[in-house]
Amino acid sequence: MRTIRDPPGRTTLDWQQLLVDAVHRPGIISSAYTAFWNYSLGNMIWAHLQCLARGIQPGPLHTFRGWQKVNRQVRRGEKALTLIMPVTMKRKRHDAVPGDALPHDKSDPSATFTVFLERPFWFTLSQTDGEPYKPLTIPTWDEHQALQRLNMTREPFRHVDGNCQGYAHGRTVAVSPLAYLPHRTLLHECAHVLLGHTAESTDLSDTDAATPRDLREVEAECVAMLCGCSLGLPGEDYSRGYIQHWYHADVIPDRSVQRIFKAADALLKAGLPPVPTAEADAPAV
Ligand SMILES: [Zn+2]
């Protein structure tokens, strides 16, 4: 996936690989959430993988200055973790931008565009010394608040098919009282709405919709898995099996990967109270 436009000499973060790691390596998502729950999902998993690769204890993050503000010092020689940050840039005429987040309008040479760059500003608690630090408590995810903020409604289940676990239409979702994993089904149906599947077609089994059926199911279950594992809900293996059942291609397309992270992030954050992150005290880029 080429959403990151690299300045010379920088490495590219592979979002497809990030999703593959998250989905296929058991426990990655939940441990990433435990340490980095107040970051975007992509950054959460990316920070966790960096910690694993470098043998750093995952935990609260701040920038160098952010740690100083809480009377802690980054130890000499510690190397910063990178996070992905959106950067707005001015477009030059005929500047082709792979993975550009905005449509490329050649007629408007002054238009701005957003790129996502890796920036090395963050250190975990374990890379610092100083006064005792009390991490923020992970807040409880509130279903009612999430649905309300996302402008979605949950209705009583009305499907006659006993095998149906749940369904979504428009911005409405329903979960069978007999659902095998009701919380995960709710996340899956919410994902169909957030991913735009219910706007594409009134019937999610429609084979003529813009997004093919198998890809719709894979996208929705990846979102359910990212959110469900983050929240410590059971069913990680079930989700992995469901994704494998529906999808046989080698890689999930770039566009889907972007949509999955965006929808999962929206669903997760909508159920949490607003919280500060160290992203806010990063130097301007
Ligand atoms: Zn579905």
Residue 141 has a CB neighbour count (10 Å cut-off) of: 21
In the chain, which ranges are continuous DSSP H helix? 15-24, 28-36, 41-54, 64-69, 143-149, 182-194, 197-200, 213-230, 236-246, 254-270
Judge if 85 and 169 occupy the same domain.
no
pTM here is: 0.84
Q: How many CA atoms, within 13 angstroms, populate the side-chain half-sphere of residue 31? A: 16
Q: How far is the CA of 183 from the centre of ligand 1 (A)?
A: 14
User: How many structural domains comprise the chain?
Assistant: 2
Residue 245 lies in a domain: yes
Q: Is residue 8 part of a domain?
A: no
Are 127 and 57 members of one domain? yes
Q: Is 1 among the domain residues?
A: no
Identify the helix (H) or strand (E) that includes residue 119: strand 112-124
So what's the pLDDT on residue 4? 39
Please check whether residue 168 is in contact with residue 189, taking contact to mean a CB–CB distance below 8 angstroms.
Answer: yes
Same domain, 130 and 168: no
Contact status, residue 42 vs residue 258, Cβ threshold 8 Å: no
Distance 102 CA to ligand 1 centre (A): 29
Distance 41 CA to ligand 1 centre (A): 21
Does residue 7 lie in a domain region? no
Q: Which domain range does residue 124 map to?
A: 15-135+276-281
Residue 9 in any domain: the answer is no
135 C-alpha to center of ligand 1: Å? Answer: 37
Does residue 124 lie within any of the structural domains? yes
Q: Is residue 43 part of a domain?
A: yes
Q: From CA 246, how far away is CA 263, in angstroms rounded?
A: 19
Whether 102 and 182 share a structural domain: no
Determine the distance separating the centroid of ligand 1 and the alpha carbon of 192, expressed in angstroms.
7
- Angle of helix 15-24 relative to helix 213-230, nearest 10 degrees? 70
pLDDT at 149: 97
Say yes or no: 161 and 193 in one domain: yes
Residues in the chain: 285
Q: How close is the Cα of 260 to the center of ligand 1, in Å? A: 14
Q: State the pLDDT at residue 270.
A: 96
Residue 94's Cα: distance from chain center in Å?
A: 31
The per-residue pLDDT string of the chain (285 residues; one tens digit each, 9 = 90 and over) reads: 333 333 333 345 788 888 988 888 899 999 999 999 989 999 999 999 999 999 999 999 999 999 999 999 999 999 999 998 888 887 765 555 555 555 555 556 567 888 888 899 999 999 999 999 988 889 999 999 999 999 999 999 998 777 889 999 999 999 999 999 999 999 999 999 999 999 987 666 666 667 888 999 999 999 999 999 999 999 999 999 999 888 877 778 989 999 999 999 999 999 998 876 666 666 654
- Cα dist. 13→1, 48, 117, 119 in Å? 8, 14, 9, 11
Residue 212 confidence (pLDDT): 86
Ligand 1 centroid to Cα of residue 189, in Å, is 6
In the reported structure, the alpha carbon of residue 16 is separated from the centroid of ligand 1 by a whole-number distance in angstroms of 21
- How far does the centroid of ligand 1 lie from the alpha carbon of residue 138, in Å? 29
Residue 6 lies in a domain: no
Asked if 147 and 98 sit in the same domain, the reply is no
